Chain A
């Protein structure tokens, strides 16, 4: 670090002071919105509406969360979300990695062609409507399959993984080939384990993408049969019907009189966010390396 070479002048120390102050403000701006949501989610809805709620719940309650947990749809949404993350990430990792492997076998005559065919898809696509019409023709609408099948071979992940595979010595795969190993098992047993860091990076990108994705859910699953957690949250956020249903329930049931759509929404937001908050710091190493690989693609 270059700081070691220079003495800190007075100007430097003043700068440090302002820089650290700025960073504290910055950290507050980044974190407080989540904290505020957490406070609202643990506070009685009616009380929250009075305003002035800053750093700690005023009238602590678990009702907002209980309402969401008793609402059986939420559990279903959570299961579908988790299933989507697991199936989507596992399949895209296996297939995009396999594709990357095939394009890095140096003597394979089809590797350039294959690579180009996939690269084109990065820069041009059919667009929203033709894709929608195609999925409806394929019978993919209102199925779970639509969450993972269209993402099976991802050109961007292929690039990331392939750029890592290029740096592995050819001799590894060649010696296995001489021993009579098939391509699939060379990929699975020899190459893939060596690529663990890049696979981890791709897994983080893919898993976060699947967890957070919502537009394709409302687009391709309009029946609501395979709604994910995010979409439940969106319904409470924007769907007027859903909100008025909540308000009606609230009027009818005494135990719900302290709930408001806002407080229930805060609880749902936290349920969706907490898995992310507690896992992303541990994956930091991987996604940072993934970004840096991606930056020097060619």
Chain B
């Protein structure tokens, strides 16, 4: 109000209200909201920002029970240590291989599933298949691991069937065999997630303009033509966005799966950055070192997310931040 009065050209304002008073009035009006906000802020400060502050331990030689002042400052020692360890390339390789497998096979399979489900003409059958496909997403990795142990064990279903078919002579030891681990993990990831990931594509397909299909029919497109020329281009933005997001989480190769399905024998293939941080940080108590490794990985991860977000903005006009 005052601003407009000044603009019109009054020489004086009838009752000048100082900035402070206005702020106070505003604060009084927002009092309740600020109380709620203060509680939320206090919580986030403790549970999200205090751990960020805790990264400072990575520059010290910290042991539990000590204060930061008592700990010895070592600068970048832990960061350098990580790269001089013999394991480092193994861990980086495993992380990248596992997430790349997820970003290729694991990425394409829900799209194919969504396209195929979309082609089912019987409604109840379509709905049933969809519902069934979500089920593994809702069980924990422990349940999945238990099922895998049963199915793939030496007396399990898979070995039994393969033996009966005569394809193998002796039961395969699929579990605990390093060379099978990536395939096992990728299959398990797809089995658990394919139905869930297809939801987003199915809803994107449902959002494709129906008139396009009518036009396509007029132009003599068959079902395959429509899937190829209308449905696929229609979900292209969604596919692109999710792929870019996937690149952003390249360093998150999952860790629950590895912790449950991995054995000491498969370590060479299952150890990824996150499991490494857990093993060194929590189990061996090398807090400072593991903090440094975790910090590097999350900085790199953040960088990837920001980068891919920018690319996504340019390419698809969609972004997540």
Contacts and interface: CB of A to CB of B under 8 A. Distances in A.
Interface stretch (A68-76, A104-112, A161-169, A245-253): A104-112
A99 interface: yes
B142 A230 contact: yes
A233 B138 CA distance: 16
Interface residues of A, number: 97
A11 B227 CA distance: 14
Interface stretch (B3-11, B69-77, B129-137, B178-186): B129-137
Contacts of B148: 33
State the 10 A-B residue pairs at the shortest beta-carbon distance, nearest first: A126-B51, A130-B54, A2-B213, A212-B140, A127-B294, A5-B217, A129-B281, A121-B48, A183-B32, A130-B51
Interface in A97-134: 98-99, 102, 105, 108-110, 114, 117-121, 123-134
A272 B140 contact: yes
A48 B241 CA distance: 47
Nearest to B199: A291
B57 A130 contact: yes
12 contacts: A5-B216, A9-B223, A20-B125, A27-B128, A27-B129, A51-B155, A110-B33, A128-B278, A129-B277, A131-B54, A292-B203, A298-B319
A110 B26 CA distance: 11
Contacts of B153: 262
Contact of A99 (B40, B117, B119): B40
Given A5-B217, A6-B222, A9-B222, A128 B281 contact: yes
Given A51-B160, A237-B145, A129 B282 contact: yes
A130 B64 CA distance: 11
A147 to B, nearest CB: 13
Contacts of A40: 150
A269 B210 CA distance: 45
Given A128-B282, A230-B140, A134 B151 contact: no
A98 B32 CA distance: 12
Interface in B111-135: 113, 116-117, 119-121, 125, 128-129, 131-135
A212 B146 CA distance: 14
Contact of B64 (A136, A265, A269): A136
Given A124-B302, A130-B52, A288 B191 contact: no
Contacts of B210: 2
A182 B32 contact: yes
Nearest to A29: B191
A102 B33 contact: yes
Contacts of B143: 212, 230, 233, 269, 272-273
Contacts of B260: 234, 237-238
